[in-house]
Amino acid sequence: MLRNNIKKILSIAVSVFIFIGCASIVSKSQYPISFRSNPTHAKIIIRDEAGITVHEGETPATVTLNTKRGYFKGKDYTVWIFPIKVDTVKSKLLIL
């Protein structure tokens, strides 16, 4: 009786683990991200966690960014926005 209960619990735990893992593996690997500003034509620079510039341009812009850097690991980006005649704004962007 106890042995059957242990088998049931283990099979449920394995099933949950498999389904959670599959959701991360089969999700999209790229997403479009839109950047807008008021006033328009603010300069934007996007760099990944290695400091590599992945996009440089002006608003409005739609940039397709990778979401993964390996299994179960999200990708980090830093976004710099340079509005016209205003202080620079820096923000972290984490895409899972």
In the structure encoding, which two tokens stand for residue 95, read together?
A: 């895409």
d(CA 65, CA 28) in angstroms, rounded, equals 11
Does pLDDT of 85 surpass 70? no
Highest mean pLDDT: which of 15-19, 64-68, 81-85, 91-95? 64-68
What are the residue ranges spanned by the domains of the chain? Answer: 28-95
Express as a percent the part of the chain with pLDDT over 70: 58
For residue 47, the tally of other CB atoms under 10 A from its CB is 16
Please write the tens of the pLDDT for every residue from 2-21.
566 565 565 565 555 555 55
pTM of the model: 0.59
Topology annotation, domain 28-95? Immunoglobulin-like (2.60.40)
- In degrees, to the nearest 5, what angle opens at C-alpha 94 toward C-alphas 93 and 95? 120
| 96, 67 contact by CB (below 8 A) | yes
Q: Is 21 helix (H, G, I), strand (E, B) or coil?
A: helix
